[in-house]
Structure 1
Amino acid sequence: MSMLVEEFEEIALKAPETVWLEFINGRLEVKPPHDGNHGETLMHLTMCCREQRPGLWLYPLRGLKTEAGRQGRVRPDGVLAPVEHFVGHGEWSDPDGVLMTVEITPRGLGDDLSGLRRKRDGYAAAGIPVHVRIDRGKLGVVVYSMPKGGEYRMRRSWDMGEVVEIPAPVGITLDAEKLKEFADRTAG
């Protein structure tokens, strides 16, 4: 059963701070908790962005309105935008001005990436130029770009350990060698 975005926002507002709710394709979903390796992965990417693009910040878990008609409500692991871009915004921001979203697969996800695919498609439908998925299970990085018609037209994959090229308008490289350490699927 689907719910309205207004109903979701009311539920999300009352949820405990330790629970991250998302609204994807009309359905309420719970974002899985993060372990230490997940956090280190995000901090490594944050450092790379900050060093190469000092006018941009990688905001963790920033609430975004996505999908067609801005009906989705998601919290990407990272949202790259200009410094102070979200000043004055409420809990859910319009994606205009966002350059990139990042999702890091949770430990133990296995091959079920359907939730991440739905989120990716929502980012494309919202016109976010670049989406990066760091796949801890498959030890890889996938970069999606050139959104059009609700999908990304470009997809490029790298193994962890290679130099990842994140295209314009982000325009950074990521040495993914360090990410192999953080991809340890047995870490808790």
Structure 2
Amino acid sequence: MTSRRRPADLRPSPETASQPLPGTARELFDALPQLPGLRTEVIDGRLIVSPVGTPEHGWLAMLLAYELHELVMKRNWQTYAGNVDVCIDGPRDPVEPDFVLAPADCPRWGDRELLSSGLLMVAEIVSPGSVVDDRDRKPDLYAGGLVPVMLLIDPVATPAIVTVFSDPKGGEYQTVSRVAMGSPLHLPDPVDFTLDTSVFDKALGTR
């Protein structure tokens, strides 16, 4: 995979004018320049460009990183909070999870995208504009890419809930566990960690 082009690279020239335009969402994603302050993903064949989350959205991702910090350092893992692209094995669709947990030697697609099948866990934080994609589309997307565990933090739900999906087979997660935000939730292998979701509850001021 080539890195995304700079704006100057997208201007027509005698050499590029006769080249075909991007024909797929993946090709269009690869042709885009970096878009600071925006998130660019391909979901179900759609190229989606959306604003980055609110400060509260980012704070929840950081709280998850803090909760996992001791485990991450002990096992020599790496975490990324909304700043790394993931390539879904199979369709090669790029997505940008709100949080990624990966081994230090996670394989990559090109220079900047981690391969989904090499990850340990991804997490998404639902916002009003991402309800359908986060709740309905991304679990199957990550399951199809063989991400072992997906965590869904949903402060938009009434009441707020946290869900963990695991055991991906045939493009679906076979096991789903859900708790009200504020209750402990076990993250299954390969993470094997009991998450205290009250940190999210307190951050949102819902207790």
TM-score normalised by length of structure 1:
0.84
Tell me how far apart the structure 2 counterparts of residues 65 and 85 of structure 1 sit (CA, whole Å): 12
- TM-superposition CA deviations, 1:115-158 (whole Å, max 9, x none): 11222211100101000000011211000000000010111101
**Cα distance in 2 between the residues matched to 1:53 and 1:146:** 21
Q: 1:144 aligns with which of 165, 181, 187?
A: 165
Match status 1:66 vs 2:85: no
Match status 1:40 vs 2:59 = yes
Higher relative contact order (CA 8 A, sep 6+): 1
Do residues 171 (structure 1) and 195 (structure 2) align? no
CA shift for structure 1 position 33: 2.3
1:100 matched to 2:121? The reply is: yes
Alpha-carbon distance change, 164 to 28 in structure 1, aligned in 2, over 3 angstroms: same
Is the 2:25–2:47 Cα contact (8 Å) retained in structure 1? Answer: no
1:32 Cα deviation after fit: 3.8
Larger radius of gyration: 2
Who is 1:8 aligned against? 29
Amino acid at match of 1:104: I
Instruction: In structure 2, give the amino acid aligned to 1:118.
Output: R
In structure 2, the CA distance between the partners of 1:87 and 1:29, relative to structure 1 (3 Å rule), is closer
Identity of aligned residues (%): 30
TM-score of the aligned structures, taking structure 2 as reference length: 0.77
1:147-162 → structure 2 map (5 Å cutoff):
147-162=168-183
User: Is the 8 Å Cα contact of residues 99 and 170 (structure 1) preserved in structure 2?
Assistant: yes
Structure 2 partner of 1:75: 96
Query: Alpha-carbon deviation of 1:37?
Result: 1.6
Q: CA distance change for structure 1 residues 71 and 84 in 2, over 3 Å: closer, same or farther? A: closer
Q: 1:51 aligns with which of 52, 60, 70?
A: 70
8 Å CA contact 2:185, 2:196 repeated in 1: yes
Partners of 1:84 and 1:128 in 2: CA distance: 15
Q: Distance in 2 between matches of 1:129 and 1:177?
A: 24
The SS at the match of 1:141 is: strand
Unpaired runs of 5+ in structure 2? 1-22
d(CA) in 2 for partners of 1:142, 1:73: 23
Q: Distance in 2 between matches of 1:29 and 1:184?
A: 31
Q: Which runs of 5 or more residues in structure 1 are unaligned?
A: none
Q: Which whole-Å CA distance do the structure 1 matches of 2:108 and 2:27 have between them?
A: 23
* Aligned-CA RMSD value: 2.3
